[in-house]
Structure formats: C-alpha cells, structure tokens
Amino acid sequence: MPAPYLTLNTVVEHETEARRSRFRCALAPARTVEEAAAFIAERRHRHADASHNCTAYVIGERVQKGDDDGEPGGTAGTPMVQALVGRGFSDVVAVVTRYFGGTLLGAGGLVRAYGSAVTETLDRADPVRMVPARLVRVAVAHDQAGRVENDLRASRHAVREVTYAGEVTFAVAVGDDEVDAFTDWVATLTAGRARVRIGDALHVPA
C-alpha cells in the first residue's frame, strides 16, 4: 500500500563548509527522472568550474540514484540518497557542488560532508506532505455536466482532466480515506445517475 511522503514545491539552496571545502546543496522537486536530469544538467552547467557536482534523486517508491562525480566511490551520491530517504522525501533531486579547499577529507569526512549538506538544506525547506489517493473517474450525461463540474471544482478534490465524448468524464484526485464519502456525495449530487470508477493510485498534498 502506498505510504505518505514529503516533497518540495520550490528550489532550496544552502552552503556548508568542511576544512575549507565549500559544499553548496541545491534541492528541487522532480516528479520524473527527466525532470531530475534537467535540473542536474543546469546545475553542472552553472557550476562548471567546481571540483565536483555530485547528485542524488529519489522518484516514487522505487527509483533511487546517486552519482559521485569523481569523488571516491560511495562517498557522495550514496549518503545524499540516504539523507533524502532517511528524512522521508521523494520526488526530489539534490545536487551538491564542491569547491575544493585544499585539504583532503578522507572517505568518512566526505560521507559526512555530503550527507550533512543535504540534511542541513532539508532543515531549511518547507516540505509538502503527500498522502495516498486514487484517481476517481466520474461520468455523467451532458445535461448534468455543467453543475457537476462547478460542484467538483468547488470541492477540496482536484479535477485532473475533463473528457467530452458520449458522456462527460471528470478525473478527480481523491484521498484514499475519502473515496467512499466522495462516491456517496457524487451519487447524491447526481441523483444516482453518475457512473463512478476507481482508478490508479497516486498521491495528493495533505
């Protein structure tokens, strides 16, 4: 069963220092691997003069990837991923840009520096809690569609799409714990004329 998680709405940046090396962390929302890759490419272009631009992203419940970008294996990307997962974040990408300060940190020092860069930046973020939901499709006749749409958009549930065919179908994101009540509400609203189908699992802001 899908679990709640935290994510971000905006980019957050923070800089830390370890033995004169500067570690600048940038976090951003990323719902897909493509969005994460685009953010990583932009940061690497912006900080092309840096010693390293190490990266990590967590997408959904299964995709986790870290890149050491030339640092010793497992000393950057992995602790960055662990920092995100350990704080309960997903659909997030992190880039830590290191400007070398002249002193080697050793493997343990690098792990601490990269992990701390992410956790300290998360401390400054304003996270969004995402909870499990279902995409509920509500199909009604055209003569009911206008009123049903108005009532749906006035409700607390997000209308994701509207499809016009033989019927008008509204795809609505409804929290898992509200699906039964929502179905009853739609039945009352349409005098039992609506066809309701429970669809894909997803997450919505709490």
Domain ranges of the chain: 5-126, 129-205
- Per-residue confidence (pLDDT) for residue 2, from 0 to 100: 74
Mean pLDDT, residues 123-139 taken together: 96
Give 46-102 pLDDT, tens digit per residue. 999 999 999 999 999 889 999 999 999 999 999 999 999 999 999 999 999 999 998
Percent of the chain with pLDDT over 70: 100
User: How far is the C-alpha of 145 from the C-alpha of 161, rounded, in Å?
Assistant: 13
Tell me the H-state helices in 2-141. 33-46, 77-86, 106-123
pLDDT for the residue 1: 57
- pTM, full prediction: 0.82
CATH architecture of 129-205: 2-Layer Sandwich (3.30)
> What is the rounded average pLDDT for all residues in the chain?
95
Q: How far apart are CA 199 and CA 68, in angstroms?
A: 39
Provide mean pLDDT across the span 33-43: 98
**Residue 163 burial (C-beta neighbours within 10 Å; 0-12, 13-18, 19+):** exposed
- For residue 68, give the nearest of 89, 46, 98 by alpha carbon: 98
pLDDT reported for residue 3: 87
Six-digit token string for 177:
């714990």
**Is pLDDT at 20 greater than 80 in this prediction?**
yes
Q: Which bin fits 53, alpha (ψ -120 to 50), beta or left (φ > 0)?
A: beta
Q: Which two tokens stand for residue 157?
A: 């549930």
Six-digit token pair at 81?
A: 């991923």
Residue 53: per-residue pLDDT = 98
For residue 122, count CB atoms less than 10 angstroms from its CB and return exposed for 0-12, middle for 13-18, buried for 19 or more.
Answer: buried
Query: Structure tokens of 133?
Result: 């939901």
pLDDT at 37 (0 to 100): 98
5-126: CATH number: 3.30.230.30
Cα angle for residues 42, 11, 115 (degrees, 5° grid): 85
Confidence category of residue 108, pLDDT binned at 50, 70, 90: very high
Euclidean distance between CA atoms 180 and 150, whole angstroms: 21
Q: Where are the alpha helices (DSSP H) in 60-206?
A: 77-86, 106-123, 142-154, 179-189
